Every structure is written in C-alpha cells, then in structure tokens.
Amino acid sequence: MLNYTGHYLIDIGIAAITAFAGKRNPKELTSRDLDAIADYMIENYIVDPLKSFLTVVFPNSGFTNPAFEKHPEKRKAYAEKVLRAYRPGTPVLDIPCIFTRKPAVGLSLDTRDKLDLGRAFRQHVPLTTGEGIVNFHPYGNAGLPVSGEALLAIHAFPLGCAKVGGRLLAVHADNPQFTYRFAKRFLHQNRRTIHAVQSIGGKKIPEPKYRATTLLIQTLLEIEEELQWEEELIPSSITAYHLSNSGQGVKLDIYQLPLEITDFLIAVRTPEYREGWDAICRRGWEITRPKRRKDGTQEQREPTYNAFYEDLFHLPDGAASFIRTYFLRIPKQTKRKGDPRSTYSLKQEANLVSWKLTDLFLRRVVKMEKARIEYMRNLGDTLADYIVNDNDRRFFHVFLTARSYGDLRTALIKASHNRIKRRQMPLITFDQFIAIFEEGEEIPRSDWRLARDLVLIRMIERLYAQGWLQEHVEELPEPEVETSGEK
C-alpha cells in the first residue's frame, strides 16, 4: 500500500506507520493499519503534550492554531480531514503528488476553510514556503500537490523522530532497514513518554539527556548490534536532520555518516576489536562535576555528550586529528565545558594505544594503501626493538616531539648511521623511507605528521608490551597539546 520514496519526510513517516502496525515492510500495510495510526494521531495530536510540541513541526496548522483553542470540534475536524485524506472518495486533482505520483488530494487544507485547491504549505509540510509565496513554484501556483497517503506519512513523521534541544532529530539512510529501525525506536520511546506525561496531566515532552549527535551514534550502535544478531547487516550511509519548522525561527542542521564510517562502526563491534573500542568510548564521555542541592547534598550530573562519538562526524576529512587524539591519546584543548579530550595522556593511557584498531581505521575509513600500512607497522616494530635494546631514550624523545620534518628525518638518519658504524642494519631502508615519509628526495609528504603518529602508535604499543614504557614513564615527555576552536 505504501512504499519508500527516497525523501526523508515521507520515508520516516512511512517507517513510523509500519512500526506502529507491528510490521517491517510498508508493502504489507493495509487500510486498517492506516486507520489505526490515524486514530492514534487524531486522539493525541489535538491534546497535550503533542498539541504544544507540534508547533515545532506544523505551526499555524489546525493542530496548533491558537484560534482553535476554544473550538476543539474544529481542531478535530481538521485532524479528520488531513489525516484521513487517503481514504477512497476523497476529492482528487488532475495533478500527481510530488512524493508518491498518486493523485493529489483536492480538499481544502486551510485552517480557515479557504479554497486552496488542496495544495500543501509550510503548516502541512515542514521547511517549505508559506501560503501565497509563488517563488520556486511552476506557473506561479503556490503550494505543493500532495496525495492523501503522503499527507498521512508527513504527519506521522514526528512520531518517528526524537525530540532533542527543542527540535526533531530525523534519521534517514540509504538502506531502508536503518530508517525503519531508527523510526521504530523513536516511535516506541515517544509513545511511552506521551502516555507517561498524559497520566500526570503534563504539557511538555521531556527530552533525552544526550545531544543530538551523541544520541544518533548511541542509537546507531544499538541498532547495529540488534541487526548483527537478527540478520545479515549491510552497511549504509546515514543522514540526520536536526530541524525546527517553528514560526519563531526555522533551523536545520544536517549530519552525515558516509558508508565508510558505518562500515567501520560495524567492524569495531566484533569480538576482535570490541574491548579496545569500548575502552576508548568510555573515555569519550563528558566529565561532569557534582551539583550542590539546596539542602547541602550533592547530585552527580549525568554526561550529555561523548566527544569520541561527535568527532566521528568530522571523518574522513579529519582523520589525522582523530587518530592523534583517540588512538595516540594526545590531549586536545577546547573551550567546551567538561571536554574529556583535555585530560588524555599518553603517559597514563598507553594501554589504550592499539595498532589493531588503528589498522582497521586506516583500511576502512582512510582507505590507505595496504603496502604503506605494512611499511609503517614494520618500522614501528624496528624502532621499538632498537629503543629497548639500546635504551635510546633521546631518540624516542625526538621522534615523539618533533615539530618539523627536518628534526624527524635527522633523528632517523643519525640513529641508522650509528647502527651502520656498529655493522648493524639501518633502522629504515630507502624504500621504506620514501613510502612512509617522502614524495621524493627531501620532499616530505603532506601527511608526514600523520605517518609519524601511525609509526608511533605501533612503536608505543610494542614498547608497552615489552615493559620498557612503564619503566621510563616518568622520563617521557608529553607531546605538544593540540588546540581546537570548538565550543
């Protein structure tokens, strides 16, 4: 009866309708299923807490128009007209719906019963233009032709979203299974919350404690875990819309997770990587301090964000900074209150440095050549063995803190020269050096700092495994702290 269209407003609404009916495929929906969710919406959209909240999505509609406050019968009549427009017998126009290509409804959608040929405006379709605005419409015909099925899906859309920061968080994926899973989770949470608020006579829907991006990743990880157990999991790119259609100010933030990132998130949840991944995730949560109550006791405030989760949205472009912060544990200073990254320490958290996780990240997210990754791994092993055998703390210090490519290159050359004088193999071959650090003779690669950090990750992991790092931890320098303009 219904099918996904590729547009997030419609697809999330259809997914919510499907989940409400207890089904998994919208093609299985029947007219009874549509009637059931229409009944629920008519009952709840015209009373609090949804009546108040819908101003964020459908301002000036029959659900929210203050003029209807003393005329509940008009509000219900509007709900019946809009939400049951999919039924046979509803007047239709000779133009198709822009979403479904089915005939657009021909009934009036105006809250004042003004004839508008059935076209939909901002009070019916979020983030579109208002009535009478002809810009961007063919032949100057304002509004959008919309079918009854599309109208129902659009109005079911808020039920498949989460309320965060006074706005809706809507999640849409290339793989409809993810769109459905997000909508299903949010729908069930919304219904529980609505029932709880109504039972105490409340007027507002409480919000999740997490910020939008943290909630998105947290929910995605839970969904991926579900799907791993239930069926074959196919990665999908994901786009989230954090929106408000309020008359007091339209807002829209768009967050994207490319296929490479979701693929990586699936892989790190497998047993081979899970322990190291979970440890890094735990250290990503906001650092909170107890809040003093009026009676003198203290209340521990729960964290509202996970910096590690939020930095996933800066990938793959921000891969170098991401690797340095989370896989090498170099602290980063920001102005954001409670930011855990400012407390990271290579000295104290060397046990979290994992080449296995880094290697997976390089292959799945950065798409680095396999040969170059192997060169870095081998060089890290060689340098770690050299430092342990020769106890060359000076070399380790220079390699860890080098600010210029010249300092790094000189340190490697000197150490290799000393080995050659002792009739030992050099630390690095010419082919290795070129593959890892240089474009040509004395021309450094643009990512030589990233290459140094990757070699360091393998080196530190091996030094920690051999106990050398623990023995010299007090002598080790802390690398230069990164700064960020984040707030």
For the chain, 487 residues long, give each residue's pLDDT as a single digit of tens. Answer: 799 999 999 999 999 999 999 999 999 999 999 999 999 999 999 999 998 889 899 998 889 888 888 888 888 999 999 999 999 989 888 899 999 999 999 866 555 544 344 688 888 899 887 776 666 666 667 678 999 999 999 999 999 999 999 999 999 999 999 999 999 999 999 999 999 999 998 888 888 889 999 999 999 999 988 887 766 678 899 999 999 998 888 999 999 999 999 999 999 988 999 999 999 999 999 999 887 777 777 777 899 999 999 999 999 999 999 999 999 999 998 888 899 999 999 989 999 999 999 999 999 999 999 999 999 999 999 999 999 999 999 999 999 998 899 999 999 988 888 888 888 888 888 888 899 998 877 788 899 999 999 999 999 999 999 999 999 887 777 777 777 656 5
Handedness of CA 151, 156, 160, 163 (dihedral sign): positive
Tokens of 347: 């000295």
- Which residue type sits at 362? L
Residue carrying the six token digits 């479904």: 100
Measured at the CA of 259, the angle between CA 253 and CA 260, to 5 degrees, comes to 110
Q: What's the Cα-to-Cα distance from 56 to each of 63, 213, 252, rounded to whole Å?
A: 11, 19, 12
For 180, the enclosing helix (H) or strand (E) is helix 176-199
CA distance 214 to 306: 6
Domain ranges of the chain: 8-160+187-206, 285-290+303-487
CA distance 153 to 165: 24
